[in-house]
Structure 1
Amino acid sequence: MLTLYRPGTSWFYRAPAGPKAFALLLVVLGVSLLPSTYSCAALAGGVTVLAYLVSGVGLVELGRQVVGVRWIIVITLAFQVLFVPMEPAIANTARVTAAIVIAALLVLTTRVADLLDALERGLRPFIRFGLDPARIALVLAVAITTVPVLTRLAVGVREAQRARGVRAGLVSFVIPFLVVSLKHADELGDALTARGVN
């Protein structure tokens, strides 16, 4: 499994994976539920900056994450502008971007093994209902790491296009991005099947 973990020494890196994931979930939910106004879009941005500063990850990494999701931002804004006025379109895009970038803090500051252990521990009470905590934890961990992985794939596609002199454009980006995304999903599926996860 591809991980985007960046080694660090701040208190946020040392925090247990379970409480860290829960705290980030609350922040993401809070940002997602903000009203669709310019002031709330600014608030979502401010919360994101604060989260990266407080966690010790820093603004340089925040910049990398925002650049990494730039195509998600463009696509989200383009579709929003088609159906809603400009203010909610910008606010909705800001909230989606903030939620993605804040959620990325979890995989940036937590090793996948620690994340899996925390998820499995949290799901143990559900064994009595016939659930397999190890399998569910693995599926959830894969889901959590999917957005950052897709971000990295998007950056790779754009860099490859730039190296070949392909002009930037939505259509010229989407098709190769879908191809590499589906290839990644296929490889991930094969890897999970090889480990007995069906």
Structure 2
Amino acid sequence: MISLTSPVETRAHRWPAGVKLGALCLASTGLFLTGSAAVHVAALLLVLALYAAPGRVFLQAGLRSLRVVLPFVAILLVWHAVTGELRAGALIVLRMVTLVALANLVTMTTGLGELVDLIRRLTAPLRRLGLPTHLLETAIPLVIRFTPVLVARAENLAEAWRARSRRRPGWRLILPLTLQALDDADHVGEALRARGGPLGPQ
């Protein structure tokens, strides 16, 4: 899941979070159980149709957030082409893009509060066993919230690099991006401790 809630209101916004996550689990299981290229292509086209249904603004926002998977697509295709297993690589790419797009669709149409409530209900049995499920309830929304933030930071760093050099930034952005991520993590940790959150005194 790599997106924030979409500002475009859709019918899916009114569906229960449990139903959407359950459908995502079923779709994931189904795609992993089949090796048919036709099924994978049809699934991807169906997901694109779901993105397009609410309108162009929603479609553009969804596709923009999926750019993060493009480097992985390129790496997988190149690797499988070198190893002579391009068909297997294409299936993996189709499956990956489809499932990431579906997961992104869930987060675009589901508020973080709904997801936290769902996680709290699902982890209730673990809580009765004395396990600290509040950590999970905090960690998952943070991952969802900060993934697009880190992607935006990487894009800003790349633009700053291109403004100063003709060479591609590539691996040179890893260190500054990592430092920014660690700095953000420190600030979030301090904020949680100040509010008596999961990282604060228990």
| Aligned equivalent of 2:198 | 197
Could you say what secondary structure the match of 2:123 adopts?
A: helix
Greater displacement, 148-157 / 112-121 = 148-157
Distance 2:80 2:172 in 1: 21
Equivalent positions of 1:1-198 (< 5 A) are 4-35=4-35, 38-53=37-52, 58-83=58-83, 85-145=85-145, 147-168=147-168, 170-172=170-172, 174=174, 176-194=176-194, 195-198=196-199
CA shift, 1:52, in A, is: 1.9
TM-score, length-normalised on structure 1?
A: 0.74
Larger radius of gyration: 2
Q: 1:193 to 1:34 in 2, by over 3 A?
A: farther
What SS does the corresponding residue of 1:69 show, helix, strand or coil? helix
Deviations 1:39-78 (A, max 9, x none): 3442342132133245777432232123343223223434
TM-score relative to the length of structure 2: 0.73
Q: In the aligned structure 2, how far is the partner of 1:193 from the partner of 1:74?
A: 41
Aligned Cα RMSD in Å? 3.3
- Cα deviations across residues 153-197 of structure 1 (Å, max 9, x unaligned)? 443333333333443364345555555445545554555555442
Unaligned runs of 5+ in 1: none
Alignment CA distance shift 1:172-1:68 (3 Å): same
> Number of paired residues?
196
C-alpha contact (below 8 Å) 1:3/1:145 kept by paired residues:
yes
Q: What 5-or-longer segments of structure 2 have no aligned partner? A: none
Shift in CA distance, 142/82, structure 1 to aligned 2, threshold 3 Å: farther
Q: Give the share of equivalent positions with the same residue, in percent.
A: 27
| Conserved? CA contact 1:52–1:62, under 8 Å | yes
Would the alpha carbon gap of residues 183 and 53 (structure 1) be closer, same or farther in structure 2, given more than 3 Å must change?
Answer: same
Q: Distance in 2 between matches of 1:148 and 1:17?
A: 21
Change (3 A) 1:145 1:75: farther
Give, in whole Å, the separation in 1 of the partners of 2:94 and 2:157.
24
Query: What amino acid maps onto 1:90 in structure 2?
Result: A
